Structure 1
């Protein structure tokens, strides 16, 4: 029901009921500086002009936002990594206003307890202190007061991931879900956010896809969102930024790279811009082949290069990314794209694909989000796994990787799953449902108990795609388009309802005429091995297997402990488990010889199934002797290649799938 600003609103239920995200709601004024597609310049640092509304629409929206929660964020102390936040509420609940902070961020399925970094929460009304009581781990309640209520707090920000917040002298980044307490009962009202410039950093600018109401040339100023859900779906990057603009099927896009001062001249902007444009246009055309158009008015990749690392988090019209600096293309690189750069492009492809698959085509169980507790779904194999299948396939379709490079990536995924005994323990549906307690909480037994819904989900998407290609005139692209037309587009008949847990087999049948419920039963809800060798042969791809790796065959994963191999993981069914080795054991000797990875490889090459091996290990400061019989050799790693000869039908299908 509508909320009237003159009447105090009661606290809302935990599950935030807000309007479903429609593309029109993403429209907003851009920042005050505009650049052409060819722009690769640093942002202007000239004198800041006075705030000016971008348009009458922006003025009206800003006025509407004034009726709802109004936040201001400033940098309190870079050296202490502290943001200072204020929230003004014109008409708080007369019974006592509650405030709460999300415990997780959509796209990362783990309760992360963002409230643990919130410090010094205080409330004031008309200049006087208001009693404030913490009523839950992430909730505060202010005593009743007459007049506008002002809440202030600080947030510690030193998480270099894409999920929370970071602040130091080189850059600032935050997801609003980590900083901005929601006012209970006001979540569906317009929200305003004022980002204040740090006086000590005149060269800093702001990058965000939040609609701007009144901002200066550097992007500092007033932003607005139609509700709290949309507010927190827009991360904010501040610092010295390198901006690369381009258009994809007419829609403005931007890659914003932090640390521009140290990256000047170190990034091949022309190549990066062209490659991203190819990715984006390929994905837009996949979902809208007849009239390619993006589901947003603009899009931004917000990138923080680091010494090492790779990761991303999707949002409705942007993505937050980290990568190793060395993975970015350099102007002096040759024509060949490096493995690191190809990985980075795959990351961009993955997060961009999510703009359709999970941000707009959403699981019913996550519609709407409940930001104060786990939201479980058995469909992450669809929303993360299918996205994982397409991320590298899009690179191939866009001409950014060669056919053999794509097949190498597929083989790596197959080998990763084959090296995971947990695939025989946990189904894809269960892996999705248990993400909150297992996938994001790995331990020494994870490989034996779980399987990745990203990797195995991607291989199931491959199996489904190849099945459709071999048994019908349709492909997985057609299924994705039906999902988009049915659930995701702003004119979709089931827009805003979300995909039911059991919906996909019927959608596949609607597209292809094939009843593949058995395939889903065996490989999504069951734990049967995917028939990938046969399916790849149906598209003219050769499957071969090399020699088994010694450590994998022995069921061991090792770390180095001051020159001695230390057991990190013991894999189910291997010699190490049979012998009784345990994580933490330090391997001293195998068959009387000093243990080392090289020695294990030599012994394994000479060993035979049935041989008895002895091990001496140090465990809890005591020498322990163990032994077990070697099992039969495990299959070696899979390699894939284009078959030299293939039947005419297989060759045609391969051409349509792989372009070769």
Structure 2
């Protein structure tokens, strides 16, 4: 399979695409544009941005093409062994899952506009980019010049791309893995500080999980002049859009938080994936009830790793915990839906505000129930078992062999680590809408924290002056990594 992509008029925001389908042996073929994208579990109707489409033969003869669904086309091949689909796609949105082109930047999420031929989704792809002279490419796909290679459609559409003459870049290595941080926008990065902090949390994550799933990883950052916060995970990269570009320390804190979160997704959801999502079915909703594991645990760990890696202070970390609490309790503490049901309903309205008191956030409540579980396991085992152990077992049994896990698999592993049935946890935290305050404060007391609620709806997280609890808090937040001599030298430098 081959794609040729060019932009004839950057001001129009239109991408010109030719999709070449070789070795055809059927009178009729069907081509499918994805209806959704990994990392965002809602139907997105990318086909609405296709302005024009046609099918032509190898001799430039038009072939019959017509829609059979909102994002699927049927082509009569007339006996041709090769067919080209030519179309234009409107790319004028800048978020972490969109595409955008202008005179200065190509930002491409291939899942927005690349199609696959029914029955051939597993074939390799070549992508030829007709880029302006002097453009650099930032992408997780292997490239030779302006030609990218993908082993199959799944890899292609899980590899976003930035291309521009003004890209800025910093590389670093941790435990044999090459990391690249790419920046596009109106800013002067403090690369020394960025490299130090990214190296620390990358090292902490790898030390916790034992190994990294890929040989290289790319942080792709689009920094806007307007307020924005959005990140999306991919198999060996993440696409992050932040702003405003003049925010200073606030922008840097956002960059650290979202980057640590997205990096942990390299294990949790990219490889440790719910069975319902393996493989992805891009034609329809892929319902699953474990997004509180995929997003909730990742949200919890994103900031926890920053503290363990000494990128955040304890004060910074507790402040972030308070943010999750405020977002949950001030907006959905009286929601009628369980966390598992809200995971399932992401496909319905999970990314919209929705009606009052119906759903909960798989991110915010998911992070809080992950905290409850982690602290319970630590208290029960004097820190010898924890949520770390759960994630390590999920990696060993499901992520590394890349087989999907079920909700029951997650329950079984948690209870194996706990050494007991945790019916109270599943009932109060996952499968009902029982208020969390009591369970949360019970867990927090172990590490000397207490959440207070006020009549005006405000939430405050207090640190208790207790020596014994402080010792437990230090064990909870302590680093896992053991530095090699070379890494110690890097830290000293």
1:460 matched residue in structure 2: 369
Conserved? CA contact 1:411–1:640, under 8 Å: no
1:656 matched residue in structure 2: 475
1:114 matched residue in structure 2: 46
Shift in Å at residue 524 of structure 1?
A: 0.1
| TM-score between the two structures when normalised by the length of structure 1 | 0.69
Q: What pairs with 1:36-47 in structure 2 (closer than 5 Å)?
A: none
Further displaced range: 373-382 or 318-327: 318-327
1:258 matched residue in structure 2: 184
Further displaced range: 453-462 or 134-143: 134-143
1:142 matched residue in structure 2: 75
Counterpart of 2:440 (choices 506, 509, 532) is: 532
| Residue 234 (1) aligns with residue 159 (2) | yes
Shift in Å at residue 521 of structure 1?
A: 2.1
1:271 matched residue in structure 2: 193
| Residue 244 (1) aligns with residue 170 (2) | yes
Shift in Å at residue 93 of structure 1?
A: 4.1
1:638 matched residue in structure 2: 460
Could you report, residue by residue, the CA deviation over 1:99-148 in whole angstroms, capped at 9, with x for unpaired residues? 11001001101101011111211111122111111111101111123232
Measure the CA separation in 1 of the matches of 2:405 and 2:322.
Answer: 31
Shift in Å at residue 516 of structure 1?
A: 1.2
Measure the CA separation in 1 of the matches of 2:81 and 2:394.
Answer: 48
Q: Please, which runs of 5 or more residues in structure 1 have no aligned partner? A: 1-68, 330-337, 490-494, 553-635
Conserved? CA contact 1:190–1:225, under 8 Å: yes
Q: What pairs with 1:59-458 in structure 2 (closer than 5 Å)?
A: 69-125=1-57, 126-145=59-78, 146-198=80-132, 202-212=133-143, 214-215=144-145, 220=146, 222-239=147-164, 240-259=166-185, 262-263=186-187, 266-288=188-210, 293-307=211-225, 308-326=227-245, 338-421=249-332, 423-443=334-354, 445=355, 447-458=356-367
Q: Equivalent residue of 1:312, what SS?
A: strand
Conserved? CA contact 2:449–2:461, under 8 Å: no
Shift in Å at residue 193 of structure 1?
A: 1.0
Shift in Å at residue 644 of structure 1?
A: 1.4
1:482 matched residue in structure 2: 393
Measure the CA separation in 2 of the matches of 1:356 and 1:327.
Answer: 33
Conserved? CA contact 2:140–2:237, under 8 Å: yes
Measure the CA separation in 1 of the matches of 2:203 and 2:264.
Answer: 11
Q: Equivalent residue of 1:463, what SS?
A: helix
1:36 matched residue in structure 2: none
Conserved? CA contact 2:77–2:83, under 8 Å: no
| Residue 498 (1) aligns with residue 373 (2) | no
Conserved? CA contact 1:85–1:153, under 8 Å: yes
Change (3 A) 1:119 1:657: same
Measure the CA separation in 2 of the matches of 1:114 and 1:287.
Answer: 36
Measure the CA separation in 1 of the matches of 2:94 and 2:402.
Answer: 33
1:47 matched residue in structure 2: none
Q: Please, which runs of 5 or more residues in structure 2 have no aligned partner? A: 480-493
Q: Equivalent residue of 2:131, what SS?
A: coil
Measure the CA separation in 2 of the matches of 1:195 and 1:423.
Answer: 51
| TM-score between the two structures when normalised by the length of structure 2 | 0.92
1:541 matched residue in structure 2: 449
Measure the CA separation in 2 of the matches of 1:340 and 1:225.
Answer: 33
Could you report, residue by residue, the CA deviation over 1:295-354 in whole angstroms, capped at 9, with x for unpaired residues? 10110011100122011000010000011144776xxxxxxxx34322220100111110
Shift in Å at residue 423 of structure 1?
A: 4.2
Could you report, residue by residue, the CA deviation over 1:5-43 in whole angstroms, capped at 9, with x for unpaired residues? xxxxxxxxxxxxxxxxxxxxxxxxxxxxxxxxxxxxxxx
2:487 matched residue in structure 1: none
Q: Equivalent residue of 1:247, what SS?
A: strand
Conserved? CA contact 2:244–2:251, under 8 Å: no
When the two chains are superposed, the root-mean-square deviation of aligned CA atoms in Å is 1.7
Q: Rg larger in 1 or in 2?
A: 1
Measure the CA separation in 1 of the matches of 2:70 and 2:244.
Answer: 38
Q: What pairs with 1:595-610 in structure 2 (closer than 5 Å)?
A: none
Q: Equivalent residue of 1:304, what SS?
A: strand
Measure the CA separation in 1 of the matches of 2:410 and 2:352.
Answer: 28
